């Protein structure tokens, strides 16, 4: 089977590696890919948002299955376009992708289907904001309605903060939207719960907890994710039953009722409060960096699983997991997420990885045969093992070997599951 994988991040490298390991795979084409995917697949420098150009490339390379990694092409309608062209593609359609593409859409769906979530108001102007502030106490969460690469959420402690960040959104800080959602702040512990879905079935695809803040002790601005670990100890059979019955099933039923049954990966972002799950967000793809800690734990053939979803035969495939836990620490360019650093050379020649250690590339590229950084989040150092403490110790040893003077990383990834010495 010839497969096209859309995307260029650490998530896509992790997916690519798992697909490379599949007995079904013939060739993998990454569009556009990165320095990591280049070692196991053919990178194609094609603008995946130019759907007509993408289609011509898919035909040229005789692609049998297209896997869409990031959210932007999904929200733009890539699945709808390719399906009309009779191309097999894994991911939700444009309507269902609004679960991530529009916070207002997601919250309204929750309201209409009694899905537990924080109280909210969709705001289009300052009058809407003042109305919400009059009836709610601080802190208040401000969320840009559209896509914002994980940076469109701010927890505000005062009316002035709410008004300042809201004004930035109204003035177009995030080009995807000029409206926003105000939410009650829910105190608790966040967890990411993943599913793979076809038109009539869904299966558990792992749990994880990530670290969104750039600074240690969960300080500083939000990022795309500084590290993650899997599985999450918050997910047990009792909690999983609540998540499925109160959140997942009502959501999938609502989309199906609109003649837009969900297919693809579904990331359920939850807040666990007083042993009850509340929906914080939906993402219509695997998380990044959560994907990088879930894929190494997966025993089942990924391509067989993706194909089953597309063919509506997910109930025919059993998903099996390794006993190992997994963690990743993200090595970032200095200045991230506020400043973009120029390309800097990286030397991985001294790094020795065993069968339970991986480096998934995110912001990297090859220039004249040499490896350079190409973005804020550059490398994901990933290790499998039996205890999170030993896993993290091994990750730090690998990072020390990389010895990249232009980078930084959080040293407290996994603090919730590692007992302080």
For residue 341, what is the domain's CATH number? Answer: 3.90.600.10
Same domain membership, residue 128 and residue 51: no
Domain limit, last residue, from 289, 316, 343: 316
Same domain membership, residue 292 and residue 208: yes
Residue 399: which domain range?
325-408
The Cα–Cα gap between 334 and 360 comes to 19
Contacts of 171 (CB under 8 A, 6+ apart): 178
Angle between helices 103-112 and 249-257 (to 10 degrees): 100
Domain annotation covers residue 257: yes
Query: What would the mean pLDDT of 292-307 be, rounded to a whole number?
Result: 98
Q: Whose structure tokens read 């089977």?
A: 1
Average pLDDT, the chain: 96
Q: What tokens were used for 53?
A: 């150009």
Query: Number of folded domains in the chain?
Result: 4
Domain annotation covers residue 105: no
| Residues forming beta bridges with residue 30, ordered by sequence position | 5, 43
For 191-245, write each residue's pLDDT tens digit: 999 999 999 999 999 999 999 999 999 999 889 999 999 999 999 999 999 999 9
Q: Is the pLDDT of residue 357 over 80?
A: yes
Percent of the chain's residues with pLDDT above 90: 93
Domain limit, last residue, from 184, 205, 234: 184
Domain annotation covers residue 53: yes
Q: Is the pLDDT of residue 393 over 90?
A: yes
Domain annotation covers residue 109: no
Same domain membership, residue 199 and residue 168: no
Q: Whose structure tokens read 């000029």?
A: 178
Q: Is the pLDDT of residue 340 over 90?
A: no
Same domain membership, residue 352 and residue 290: no
Q: Is the pLDDT of residue 337 over 60?
A: yes
Domain annotation covers residue 421: no
Same domain membership, residue 180 and residue 195: no
Residue 27 exposed, middle or buried by CB count within 10 Å (0-12, 13-18, 19+): middle
Q: What tokens were used for 78?
A: 């890539």
For 94-121, write each residue's pLDDT tens digit: 999 999 999 999 999 999 999 999 999 9
For 62-92, write each residue's pLDDT tens digit: 999 999 999 999 999 999 999 999 999 999 9
End-to-end CA distance of the chain: 49
Same domain membership, residue 299 and residue 198: yes
Q: Tell me the pLDDT band of 172, cut-offs 50, 70 and 90.
A: confident
Same domain membership, residue 38 and residue 73: yes
Q: Can you give the pLDDT at residue 420? A: 60
Contacts of 312 (CB under 8 A, 6+ apart): 198, 199, 200, 201
Contacts of 28 (CB under 8 A, 6+ apart): 2, 3, 4, 5, 16, 19, 20, 37, 40, 41, 42
Domain annotation covers residue 100: no
Q: Is the pLDDT of residue 332 over 60?
A: yes
Q: Model pTM?
A: 0.96
Q: Can you give the pLDDT at residue 133? A: 95
Same domain membership, residue 370 and residue 331: yes
Q: Is the pLDDT of residue 174 over 90?
A: no
- Between 25-34, 147-156, 224-233, 273-282, the lowest mean confidence (pLDDT) is in 147-156
Same domain membership, residue 194 and residue 311: yes
Specify the long-range contacts of residues 258-262, CB closer than 8 Å, at least 24 apart.
258/95, 260/93, 260/95, 260/96, 261/96, 261/199, 261/200, 262/92, 262/96, 262/197
Domain annotation covers residue 399: yes
CATH number at residue 124: 3.30.1490.20
Rg (CA), the chain: 21
CATH number at residue 300: 3.30.470.20
Strands 219-222 and 325-333, by their bridges, are: unpaired
Domain annotation covers residue 104: no
Same domain membership, residue 338 and residue 304: no
Same domain membership, residue 241 and residue 162: no
Q: Is the pLDDT of residue 162 over 60?
A: yes
Q: Can you give the pLDDT at residue 173? A: 87
CATH number at residue 37: 3.40.50.20
Query: What would the mean pLDDT of 293-312 be, rounded to a whole number?
Result: 98
Q: Is the pLDDT of residue 421 over 60?
A: no
Same domain membership, residue 253 and residue 158: no
Domain limit, last residue, from 316, 341, 360: 316
Peptide linkage before 231 cis (omega within 30 of 0): yes
Q: Which of 209, 207, 212 has the alpha carbon at shortest distance from 225?
A: 212
């Amino acid at each position: 089977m010839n497969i096209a994988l859309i995307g260029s991040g650490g998530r896509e490298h992790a997916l690519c590696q798992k697909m490379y390991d599949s007995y079904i795979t013939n060739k993998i084409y990454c569009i556009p890919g990165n320095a990591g995917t280049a070692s196991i697949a053919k990178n194609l420098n094609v603008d995946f948002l130019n759907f007509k150009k993408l289609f011509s490339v898919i035909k040229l390379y005789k692609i049998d299955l297209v896997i869409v990694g990031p959210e932007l092409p999904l929200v733009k309608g890539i699945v709808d376009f390719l399906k009309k062209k009779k191309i097999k593609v894994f991911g939700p359609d444009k309507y269902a992708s609004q679960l991530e593409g529009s916070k207002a859409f997601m919250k309204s769906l929750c309201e209409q289907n009694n899905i537990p979530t924080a109280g909210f108001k969709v705001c289009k102007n300052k009058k809407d904001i003042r109305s919400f502030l009059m009836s709610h106490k601080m802190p208040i969460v401000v969320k840009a309605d559209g896509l914002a690469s994980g940076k469109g959420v701010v927890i505000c402690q005062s009316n002035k903060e709410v008004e300042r960040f809201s004004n930035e959104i109204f003035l177009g800080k995030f080009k995807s939207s000029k409206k926003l959602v105000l939410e009650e702040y829910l105190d608790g512990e966040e967890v990411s719960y993943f599913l793979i879905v076809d038109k009539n079935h869904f299966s558990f695809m792992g749990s994880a907890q990530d670290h969104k803040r750039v600074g240690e002790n969960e300080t500083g601005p939000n990022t795309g994710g500084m590290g993650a670990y899997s599985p999450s100890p918050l997910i047990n059979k009792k909690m999983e039953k609540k998540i499925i019955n109160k959140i997942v099933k009502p959501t999938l039923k609502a989309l199906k009722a609109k003649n837009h049954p969900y297919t693809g990966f579904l990331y359920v972002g939850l807040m666990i409060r007083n042993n009850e799950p509340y929906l914080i967000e939906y993402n219509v793809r695997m998380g990044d960096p959560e994907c990088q800690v879930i894929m190494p734990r997966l025993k089942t053939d990924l391509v067989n699983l993706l194909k089953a979803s597309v063919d509506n035969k997910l109930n025919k495939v059993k998903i099996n997991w390794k006993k190992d836990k997994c963690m990743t620490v993200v090595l970032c360019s200095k200045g991230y997420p506020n400043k973009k650093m120029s390309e800097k050379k990286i030397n991985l020649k001294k790094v020795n990885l065993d069968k339970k250690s991986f480096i998934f590339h995110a912001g990297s590229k090859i220039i004249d045969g040499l490896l350079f950084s190409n973005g804020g989040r550059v490398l994901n150092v990933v290790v499998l093992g039996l205890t999170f403490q030993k896993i993290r110790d091994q990750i730090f040893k690998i990072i020390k070997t990389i010895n990249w003077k232009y980078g930084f990383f959080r040293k407290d990834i996994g603090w919730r599951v590692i007992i302080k010495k």
